[in-house]
Structure 1
């Protein structure tokens, strides 16, 4: 079976650094992404803490999903991980160590584009270890009210997202939007990497009044006008449907917290970070609906290799931490 992912694990060729502001604190944040060993996964290092605290980028470490996805270990947290994780996912980086001197990933321009371009400037280094993937073999569905996420078998990674505000808010600029993204580095850069986070201007004002979003500005957030027919950003939208493209971008980033690439077609309606977390737990609990596989190479093409028992894999540390099925909590 030919697949759209490379068989080997990859890390960066060289370290890359960037500097920006935290969306909520407004403080300057320095971030460096470094090469990492095979099977180490994505790890954050809080260099501003002494001793330095390490936080694994994994669904088991999610501690908050309000406004953004926050992961944590002990008393240390990292918030707004989704855009950086989306860039790492799309560029095919399996192993990376991320040093950061704050509890927020810098918001940059509100999209994943700057992170992806930094990764491209480094380039990828092929590693000896083979990639492990989660292959969906039967549909998995999560629903909470009118918020729905499901994943169907597919020989690649595809996301179809849909948002609709017609029935709750008098919104003439978003209304109902849908978009399908089929993962590849080239498609990511062209189609969704530059899609920015967005909000209604009065929501931003409320956040400011409560001491939040202090780093938010028209340089990193699409502000929807009070009239609901335009945006306050002078340059307008980057895509005519930038809102749903950003929602799809968030899904690409959040689902990389599964700990490995996933093969399947995700379909989402009216969801956010909270639903993404619950959906990952639904996947973890549905062990009869997926196979955990190690890829192999066939004349340079990725093919499904041997299936690995996921419980044994986790116990022996073959995969950096894998699923810990738990009761589903909405």
Structure 2
């Protein structure tokens, strides 16, 4: 029987918000057995809590958005992936902004923080969700889908396709969560350079730069348009 785990000690990280551009601090702390992963907006009156559960997911466009009542928080996916992969069942996550910091655009620093803090076994058993039959969930626009299949252990196959000559049909597999640190944790956020101006116009990626995202240049662009995008992202174009 697998027992629940929490962090042995708290740890903090800080950095820019990808979409807000704010300077953000996030602290992950131990929590009692049965708590789950609970986010606290410490910048809001009353420190409202948002459990990291699917029922509170209200958006997945360019980041996962969790909402409970009047409180919301976004860009949580890298932290949640690290917590799950490292076996942290219970923790409080305190953040002083409406999103998590993007850090280097990956889950790597969360994994390193969890490793440094260590894990502590707790009294309650882990409640596993058992997939007994094929299940499928399709997004509203039909462009994304998740298929769950029964198996004796956890594994993921991911397939992705973009209208791009450099990033069209690709796939990756993770057959053992023990490989997350080496195979997945350092995978970074990316954007196509042709999308940058549109995203900024929609009040997104205000904190985006080449330190926290990969920018893919996959089709010819007019010099003036490319210079404009580089200026918007506050980067120097390299020729």
TM-score category by the smaller chain?
Answer: 0.7 to 0.9
Q: Which residue of 1 aligns with 2:109?
A: 114
Preserved CA contact (<8 Å) 1:90 1:183: no
Find the counterpart in structure 1 of residue 227 from structure 2: none
- 1:249-277 alpha-carbon deviations (Å, 9 max, x no partner): xxxxxxxxxxxxxxxxxxxxxxxxxxxxx
- Determine which structure has greater relative contact order: mean sequence separation of CA pairs < 8 Å that are 6+ residues apart, divided by chain length: 1
4+ long deviations beyond 4 Å: none
Within-5 A mapping of 1:1-330? 7-143=2-138, 145=142, 147-165=144-162, 169=163, 171-185=164-178, 187-227=179-219
CA offset at residue 207 of structure 1? 1.5
Deviations 1:184-218 (A, max 9, x none): 23x00110110111111121222123332110011
On the 8 A contact 2:165/2:218 being kept in 1, the answer is no
Deviation at residue 146 of structure 1 after TM alignment: 5.4
- Counterpart-to-counterpart distance in 2, 1:111 and 1:214: 17
Q: Residue 15 of structure 1 contacts residue 34 of structure 1 at CA under 8 Å; is this kept in 2?
A: yes
* In 2, Cα distance between equivalents of 1:122 and 1:84: 15
* Aligned equivalents of 1:160, 1:178: Cα separation in 2: 7
1:29-81 per-residue CA deviation (whole Å, 9 max, x = no partner) reads 11100000000000011111111111111111112222111101111101011
- TM-score, normalised on structure 1? 0.64
Aligned length: 221
* 1-structure distance, mates of 2:28, 2:151: 31
TM-score by length of 2: 0.87
Structure 1 stretches lacking a partner, 5+ long: 1-5, 235-330
**Contact kept in structure 2, 1:44 and 1:99, CA below 8 Å:** yes
CA deviation string 1:110-137 (max 9, x = no partner): 1111111111110100011111100111
Residues of 1 paired with 2:36 and 2:174: CA distance?
Answer: 24
RMSD: 1.9
